[in-house]
Structure 1
Amino acid sequence: MIKSTFFVLRLAAAWLLAIFIFGALWSELPLLGRLEWPIVLGGMLVMALVVAGAISHLGRVRLVAGRIDKATLANRQRRQVEIPLEAGEAFDLVDAAIRELPGVEQVESARDSLQVRAKVERPRTYGEHPLGRWNPLLWFGIPRNQISATVTPGHDSGSVTLICEPESPAWSDWFLVDDGTNFENAEAITRAITRRVAAHRRGERAAAAQTETEKELTVAKLSLLHAQVEPHFLYNTLASAQLLTRSDPARADEMLGHLIQYLRHSLPRTEEETSTLGAELERAIAYLEILKIRMGPRLSVQVDVPENLRDTPLPPMMLQTLVENAIKHGLEPRTSGGTVWIRARLTDGVVAVTVADDGDGFNTRTSGTGIGLKNVRERLRLVYAGNASLSVIANFPTGVAATISVPPTDRMEPAHV
């Protein structure tokens, strides 16, 4: 009540002082200065309209803000809003929030300086004002508000300074009211910023959930792959071993030994999240040794992997996929067979593991579906978070060379792959 009374008295006192000054000037006029009744009547009418307008302003501010205090009664509103986004994103968000305001016009945005300025038409809250342009509370002013927003960059955030004020000089606040429109604009922009930040956060959570779902799906696929050995390979190996037991027991025993070694590395081991280049190499060599017994002189294998690189972390079954591709799509279709090379090198802080063959190369008849290589790329993306890659190029003079490039240390996300 005290705030309301003081506000009305302050506005009335300002207009009363203006009327006294006008009356003093009037009294100096020749002839007209002798007539006092126009000044008295006009002054009483102006004061009545000023008090009525001030009370109307108080009622509207209480309706809009729910309270009456110095902050809500002010014609000029200032807000400091912290946005947990990079300054450029915060600027785009503020710019969009201002452009959503009803009656907004003349929006000027400067992205380099992170500033937005706009004019906003003042709504006619109660229709036409009494007496129209003769209402003293509309004098000196233009029926528009203006908005200024500046984004100050911070550490992974942006601090927004928002100013909503009438499009009139500051001295006019002693005589004019804005019917709470600038308070409404400041609150509306703040709400829009809050809503957009919440929508941005929901989008981030949805993207994170989608990524997590993709990662879990990849893990599930790998677990299934890890838990099963290719049936045709297993059947063919056992059939070959059975035949060799009659004609060449020593070679049959050798084949079964390699099969045991292959299965030992292929069956799932839940206590380990990742494998190593050395362990994966042992699996691949066991697989190739079995095929050497089955294919005979048609298959030659050359391995060049330094001992100091064998502890390099590597997701399981990844090297095996490249070796199987080299056999199935490169050498098996050829009557003369060929050679498989497995090589590893440390260059410029990256371990490059290459599986190459001198088979048919990029032959559409034997190139397969590409699902295996696609899965390798996807797993590298998920496991190493962009720090690893797979490249597949033509080998010279024939065949294909596939290279996995991974960090030499364990720079991987804690995914169970």
Structure 2
Amino acid sequence: MIKSTFFVLRISLAWLLVVFLFAGLWSNLPLIGWIDWPVVVAGMLTMALVVAGALSHLGRVQLIAGRIDKAALSNRQRRQVEIPFEAGEAFDLLDAAIRELPRIEQVESARDSLQVRAKVGRPDVNIERIGGRWNPLSWFGIPRNQILATVTPGHDSGSVTLICEPESPAWSDWFLVDDASNYENAEAITRAISRRVGERRRGEKADAAQTATEKELTVAKLSLLHAQVEPHFLYNTLASAQLLTRSDPARADEMLGHLIQYLRRSLPSTENELSTLGVELERALAYLEILKVRMGPRLSVQVDVPEEVRTTALPPMMLQTLVENAIKHGLEPRTGGGTVWIRARRGDDGAVAVTVADDGDGFNNKTNGTGIGLRNVRERLRLVYGGEAALAVVANFPAGVAATISVPAKFKPEVDHV
């Protein structure tokens, strides 16, 4: 109530000074200056219309803002809005929000300086005032507002300074009202920004949910490799051990020992945790030792993996997949067998390259060694490391295939692994 009374008194006093000034000028006019009643009537009518117009403005502010205070009554509105996007995205969002305003015109966007200027037509509320267009508050009022918006870049965000004001000098605020149109514009732009930020967030959540769903489906397929023991391999190993117990118990005992080691390494204690190159190497070597008992001199194994790289994080069963590919697609089809090389090196770029090579059949018409196993390896690398890891499969010289996995030497996981 106090704010409303003060506002009406302020604008009434400003117009009263105008009336007194006009009365003084009228009294100095020749011939008609002595006639007082036209000035008195005009002055009283003007003041009545001014008070009525001020009360109408108060009613409109109350209707739009839901309150009457200094901030809501002001013709000039300022807002500070934080947008959680980088400055370029924040500017695009702000520009689109301003262009959505009704009665918007003359929009000027400067993306380099991150500024938007615009003119906005006012709603025609003169008919709502007592006296309509005869009301002094409408005599020399500006029928448009203007908007100045600036984006200040921050750390991964943009701070928007929004100014909505009449297209008239500041002194006119003593005599004129904007019928809450600038408050309405400022609130509309702020709401539009909030709505667009909300839409962006919902879109990001939907994309993240879809990505998570796709990842879960992929994990469901790939997790079988985590602790999987091929039934045929297990059956053949046990069958070979059974035969050796009759002819060569020592070799049978050796084979069963390697099988136990292999099974122990194939059943990790914590689901989906990353393993290390050292652990995966032990599993692969246990697998190869079993095959050496079965294949005899047809299989040769050479290992060159320095101790300093054996702590490198590596998804479980990944090295095993490459070794199995080298045996199945490279050496087993050959009558004379061959050699499997396992080599690891730390590069200058901070990555560790793990290579499994063979001198088997290589890329031929029967199989090229790039089947589902290697596709799974690539997919798992993508899910775990993003773009920081890679798999390369090339021809080995003079024969066979070399598959190389490159992973970061120091890797801190942010999500569950497969």
TM range (shorter): 0.7 to 0.9
C-alpha deviations, 1:130-166, integer Å up to 9, x for none? 7665442223333111111222223333322111111
Give the corresponding residue for 1:372: 373
Contact 2:106/2:119 (CA < 8 Å) preserved in 1? yes
Matched, 1:275 2:279: no
Give the corresponding residue for 1:117: 117
Give structure 1 stretches of 5+ with no counterpart. none
In structure 2, the CA distance between the partners of 1:83 and 1:271, relative to structure 1 (3 Å rule), is closer
Distance in 1 between residues matched to 2:28 and 2:371, nearest whole Å = 100
Partner-residue secondary structure (3-state), 1:280: helix
Q: CA deviation at 1:184?
A: 1.2
Q: CA deviation at 1:268?
A: 3.0
C-alpha deviations, 1:13-67, integer Å up to 9, x for none? 2222223323333444444545544433333333232222111111111111121
Distance in 2 between residues matched to 1:336 and 1:119, nearest whole Å = 85
Q: CA deviation at 1:281?
A: 0.9
Provide TM-score, normalisation by structure 1. Answer: 0.87
Q: CA deviation at 1:355?
A: 1.3
Distance in 1 between residues matched to 2:361 and 2:45, nearest whole Å = 102
Give the corresponding residue for 1:405: 406
Distance in 2 between residues matched to 1:121 and 1:337, nearest whole Å = 86
In structure 2, the CA distance between the partners of 1:102 and 1:288, relative to structure 1 (3 Å rule), is same
Partner-residue secondary structure (3-state), 2:273: coil
Distance in 1 between residues matched to 2:346 and 2:337, nearest whole Å = 30
Give the corresponding residue for 1:73: 73
C-alpha deviations, 1:50-102, integer Å up to 9, x for none? 22211111111111112111111111111122333333333233223222222
Contact 1:87/1:152 (CA < 8 Å) preserved in 2? yes
Give the corresponding residue for 1:175: 175
Give the corresponding residue for 2:319: 319
- Which of 42-51 and 293-302 deviates more? 293-302
In structure 2, the CA distance between the partners of 1:24 and 1:337, relative to structure 1 (3 Å rule), is farther
Contact 2:244/2:252 (CA < 8 Å) preserved in 1? yes
In structure 2, the CA distance between the partners of 1:90 and 1:272, relative to structure 1 (3 Å rule), is closer
* Amino acid paired to 1:351: V
In structure 2, the CA distance between the partners of 1:217 and 1:38, relative to structure 1 (3 Å rule), is same
* Amino acid paired to 1:308: E
- Superposed, which structure 2 residues align to 1:200-279 within 5 Å? 200-210=200-210, 212-213=212-213, 220-221=220-221, 223-245=223-245, 249-270=249-270, 273-279=273-279
In structure 2, the CA distance between the partners of 1:359 and 1:45, relative to structure 1 (3 Å rule), is farther
In structure 2, the CA distance between the partners of 1:282 and 1:47, relative to structure 1 (3 Å rule), is same
Q: How many pairs are equivalent? A: 417
- Superposed, which structure 2 residues align to 1:88-99 within 5 Å? 88-99=88-99
Q: CA deviation at 1:354?
A: 1.0
* Amino acid paired to 1:173: D
Q: CA deviation at 1:113?
A: 2.0
In structure 2, the CA distance between the partners of 1:49 and 1:392, relative to structure 1 (3 Å rule), is farther
* Amino acid paired to 2:404: T
Distance in 2 between residues matched to 1:163 and 1:272, nearest whole Å = 53
Cα RMSD after superposing both structures: 3.0
In structure 2, the CA distance between the partners of 1:393 and 1:134, relative to structure 1 (3 Å rule), is farther
Give the corresponding residue for 2:58: 58
Q: CA deviation at 1:106?
A: 2.1
* Amino acid paired to 1:3: K
Identical aligned residues as a percent = 81
Partner-residue secondary structure (3-state), 1:68: coil
Distance in 2 between residues matched to 1:404 and 1:192, nearest whole Å = 49
Distance in 1 between residues matched to 2:111 and 2:333, nearest whole Å = 61
Distance in 2 between residues matched to 1:403 and 1:48, nearest whole Å = 90
Contact 1:80/1:159 (CA < 8 Å) preserved in 2? yes
Give the corresponding residue for 1:415: 416
In structure 2, the CA distance between the partners of 1:307 and 1:227, relative to structure 1 (3 Å rule), is closer
Give the corresponding residue for 2:85: 85
Give the corresponding residue for 2:190: 190
In structure 2, the CA distance between the partners of 1:329 and 1:9, relative to structure 1 (3 Å rule), is same
Distance in 2 between residues matched to 1:368 and 1:345, nearest whole Å = 23
- Which of 371-380 and 170-179 deviates more? 371-380
- Which of 94-103 and 215-224 deviates more? 215-224
Distance in 2 between residues matched to 1:290 and 1:123, nearest whole Å = 87
Q: CA deviation at 1:175?
A: 1.4
Give structure 2 stretches of 5+ with no counterpart. none
C-alpha deviations, 1:210-233, integer Å up to 9, x for none? 555555556555553334311122
* Amino acid paired to 2:18: A
Distance in 2 between residues matched to 1:50 and 1:232, nearest whole Å = 97
Distance in 2 between residues matched to 1:364 and 1:137, nearest whole Å = 91
In structure 2, the CA distance between the partners of 1:76 and 1:353, relative to structure 1 (3 Å rule), is same
Distance in 2 between residues matched to 1:123 and 1:324, nearest whole Å = 77
Give the corresponding residue for 2:351: 350
Contact 1:78/1:164 (CA < 8 Å) preserved in 2? yes
Provide TM-score, normalisation by structure 2. Answer: 0.87
Give the corresponding residue for 1:332: 332
Contact 2:126/2:138 (CA < 8 Å) preserved in 1? no
Give the corresponding residue for 2:22: 22
Distance in 1 between residues matched to 2:241 and 2:321, nearest whole Å = 24
Give the corresponding residue for 1:148: 148
